[in-house]
Structure 1
């Protein structure tokens, strides 16, 4: 299905990198996991590229079943990007899960609320789940500063609660679990700046896709916040990076021409030049959005940390993914209790060939396979586990309050008119379809008059989105401001 943005889009100019405050995961952006092509033939179910990373051979492969429409392409990149953005906004939880609705995803990605786009969204999510990627010696382990090999699907799991039938609609609630390597990169803050407003303003899927791949190549490992003023690459290699099937230079140029034209007209690119001939052709991009050499600010992002009990399991050698699943399946209180029983068993002289395997077995045991060690009392331990769970919840609340305080300080540092504009944009983004323009103008007047604080509105709509209460919030806004209109 070929879809493009309809209607007149606002001519947003590119934001200088030094002023960007949105970010995307750097590995998937740099590797260009989504083909920039808007349409692909039915048999385009695999691509395989080889390149060098730090003067070492690297490889990236994608295999996707034909029944899902081949390899990810076109609008798939829009939805993959906005899922990363929403995951960051929701605190980058360790589970890797994004809570949203089909309507919110379309709105955030800049698409209209129509059956055609809901179908396209459903197809895109299916494709992102079906396609399997293998990045060989080309995935950056930011924490250890090394290149690794990972195999993953961009989406690991999709849970959809549809209201009528099997197709997506405005009321479809979604729970989307992102790939573990992507989650870990984001939680380790391996990110690159993202000009989301500019992306949303670009009309064609081809232009948006090329922009994302091109922009990612401006930021190098070790200098993730410093955008290059120029980028050059062999044209045929660039076609492979963009996941084009074309290999003939003239056809590559023709395929990218319309995207180049839009990015030049919009001021993101200063020029696109070619040097050499045939297989030796080099494409040279010069960027027009760098009025200063100041790098983008380091991302100020609070991720939700692993629970203390999961960390404790890992200290005994339990694999991180197993530790997280045990806590998710059995709950913190029970896992804490079983951990203390295990520790009492070891202290009492229980011989284990492998402590991590014994610990996992003790947690999973529901048949009484392991007798309580001498001196171990279950009920007091259970009470202690409950207290510890309450302590963890209190700590999480304190961390959330600290993050909100920082966001509030940044927001309140703006002048009042900018605060009001930003709050109104947030309301328009999430519930603009459900609120009349007159009511939105009444809300803006109320903020300018000091009758309501812009930050209160900004936080309220953001909180309603994360808690899937946008319908209630829209009702409140209508109730107050429709009358004033």
Structure 2
């Protein structure tokens, strides 16, 4: 894993929003609980319990957790949910300068992340099924370390060559694998010197661009709730403001924030953040679409940010047209071809024109496709259809009927992949009308 490739930074939105690691550099807490409303997405309900005689995750533990998320992306989303790298590589990914002290701190951090238990009630967003879940987990489910050296002195003491095998929680990895990721401004992140500042930056990055598809200009929240959210339990308002001031000054200096204002007094005091530089963020559905065609998580984010939802959907339509035509036997790498269609659209001008309405359309019915190609369409099965639908139509009897109709249409080549995906954005009534239209044509 070369360091020159470690420039992309992604966060998992739950980690950014829920703030499972306290922002404070030091703590004496062995457990904490919070039930608060920070944004319009609903109540956050969490209980965190460290092992006996242990402390809850805090400070640089958040940086290490971010490093692990990025390791998972850079290593191609390992099927066994396990990232494998040296201690030096993990520290570099986490933005921490390797040193003897850093290796010792890393060992303590990973053990906290492994043995601390989190209980979340209707607060974990499942990026694969697009619903809120109640979950109990530890962020790291398994940790292994191996000394890659002949030096047997100081056995058990981690050093630069120590090789780590870290299995992340499956709920977390499932979201990462589905492209449920939040891009972070690498330039800003690299200039932030304190764990508190980086924690506030990650949390505000979600509120700036991750809580909705559109960027916002400002975010405000009661100071008492914000203090609890960041882990400043039972601190007076003036103490919270003093603790946050260095972080605010640094975020203003690097151009992430324009200003920080306070209004009101006592328990009614509110903090208001004005963002200075709103950046383009990838639409999660667009990222998920690319991931379905085996584009890696990091690559999917970059493409979604660069070309937007409309560009990606058009490129997918071109790819689907190729898969239904005489090119289908020649396509070995769908992800690579999809990337090439996005980056070099001029090479596919004829197909683009066809897809947009003249000769061939991905959304015409099966009969029209057979007229354009001498080969019959590739076979489809129910399993593929259900994967496209992400199990979103399985929760009620009525929605299961809609699902079965959609699967039937897909298997018999009367509905395209894009048309199945469109169902995910429709209400039950709209989906019924849409399926009726497909059944009639």
Q: TM-score range by the shorter chain?
A: 0.5 to 0.7
Q: Secondary structure at the match of 2:273?
A: strand
How much has 1:67 moved relative to structure 2? 3.6
In the alignment of these two chains, the number of paired residues is 294
Residue pair 1:24, 1:191 contacting (<8 A) in 2 also: yes
Q: Secondary structure at the match of 1:60?
A: strand
The CA distance in 2 between the partners of 1:103 and 1:90, in whole Å, is 16
The CA distance in 1 between the partners of 2:160 and 2:292, in whole Å, is 29
The reply to whether residue 23 of structure 1 matches residue 14 of structure 2 is no
Q: Secondary structure at the match of 1:217?
A: helix
In structure 2, relative to structure 1, the CA distance for the partners of 1:408 and 1:109 (3 Å cut) is: farther
Residue 10 of structure 1: aligned partner: none
Q: What are the equivalent positions in structure 2 for 1:284-299 lying under 5 Å apart?
A: 284-290=272-278, 295-296=281-282, 298-299=286-287
The CA distance in 2 between the partners of 1:410 and 1:55, in whole Å, is 33
The CA distance in 1 between the partners of 2:113 and 2:343, in whole Å, is 35
What is the aligned counterpart of 1:179 among 166, 169, 175?
A: 169
Over aligned residue pairs, what C-alpha RMSD do you find? Answer: 2.9
Q: What are the equivalent positions in structure 2 for 1:99-118 lying under 5 Å apart?
A: 99-118=84-103
Residue 63 of structure 2: aligned partner: 78
The CA distance in 2 between the partners of 1:58 and 1:244, in whole Å, is 16
Residue 59 of structure 1: aligned partner: 45
In structure 2, relative to structure 1, the CA distance for the partners of 1:115 and 1:407 (3 Å cut) is: farther
In structure 2, relative to structure 1, the CA distance for the partners of 1:409 and 1:81 (3 Å cut) is: farther
Residue pair 1:232, 1:284 contacting (<8 A) in 2 also: yes
The CA distance in 2 between the partners of 1:189 and 1:55, in whole Å, is 20
Residue 266 of structure 2: aligned partner: 278
**Structure with the greater relative contact order (CA < 8 A, sep ≥ 6): 1 or 2?**
1
The reply to whether residue 38 of structure 1 matches residue 25 of structure 2 is yes
In structure 2, relative to structure 1, the CA distance for the partners of 1:57 and 1:259 (3 Å cut) is: closer
What is the aligned counterpart of 1:226 among 201, 204, 214?
A: 214
Residue 196 of structure 1: aligned partner: 186
| Unmatched 5+ stretches in structure 1 | 1-19, 306-397, 414-485
TM-score (norm 2): 0.61
1:337-379 alpha-carbon deviations (Å, 9 max, x no partner):
xxxxxxxxxxxxxxxxxxxxxxxxxxxxxxxxxxxxxxxxxxx
1:47-96 alpha-carbon deviations (Å, 9 max, x no partner):
1010247686541111112544x111111011100110110122223321
Residue pair 2:8, 2:186 contacting (<8 A) in 1 also: no
The CA distance in 2 between the partners of 1:200 and 1:92, in whole Å, is 24
Q: What are the equivalent positions in structure 2 for 1:397-412 lying under 5 Å apart?
A: 402-403=334-335
Residue 229 of structure 2: aligned partner: 241
How much has 1:249 moved relative to structure 2? 0.8
In structure 2, relative to structure 1, the CA distance for the partners of 1:404 and 1:67 (3 Å cut) is: farther
Residue pair 1:246, 1:252 contacting (<8 A) in 2 also: no
In structure 2, relative to structure 1, the CA distance for the partners of 1:208 and 1:56 (3 Å cut) is: closer
How much has 1:281 moved relative to structure 2? 0.5
Q: Secondary structure at the match of 2:20?
A: coil
The CA distance in 2 between the partners of 1:40 and 1:157, in whole Å, is 25
In structure 2, relative to structure 1, the CA distance for the partners of 1:295 and 1:56 (3 Å cut) is: closer
1:391-436 alpha-carbon deviations (Å, 9 max, x no partner):
xxxxxxx98x5546777899999xxxxxxxxxxxxxxxxxxxxxxx
The reply to whether residue 160 of structure 1 matches residue 145 of structure 2 is yes
What is the aligned counterpart of 2:242 among 235, 251, 254?
A: 254
Q: What are the equivalent positions in structure 2 for 1:293-332 lying under 5 Å apart?
A: 295-296=281-282, 298-299=286-287, 302=291
What is the aligned counterpart of 2:255 among 267, 281, 286?
A: 267
Residue pair 2:87, 2:103 contacting (<8 A) in 1 also: yes
The CA distance in 1 between the partners of 2:341 and 2:83, in whole Å, is 26
Residue pair 1:93, 1:303 contacting (<8 A) in 2 also: no
How much has 1:189 moved relative to structure 2? 2.2
In structure 2, relative to structure 1, the CA distance for the partners of 1:80 and 1:27 (3 Å cut) is: same
What is the aligned counterpart of 2:73 among 74, 88, 110?
A: 88
The CA distance in 2 between the partners of 1:92 and 1:186, in whole Å, is 8
Residue pair 1:27, 1:185 contacting (<8 A) in 2 also: no
4+ runs of 1 displaced by more than 6 Å? Answer: 405-413
Shifted more, 228-237 versus 206-215: the winner is 206-215
| Unmatched 5+ stretches in structure 2 | 1-6, 295-330, 346-441
What is the aligned counterpart of 1:144 among 129, 133, 140?
A: 129
Q: Secondary structure at the match of 2:208?
A: coil
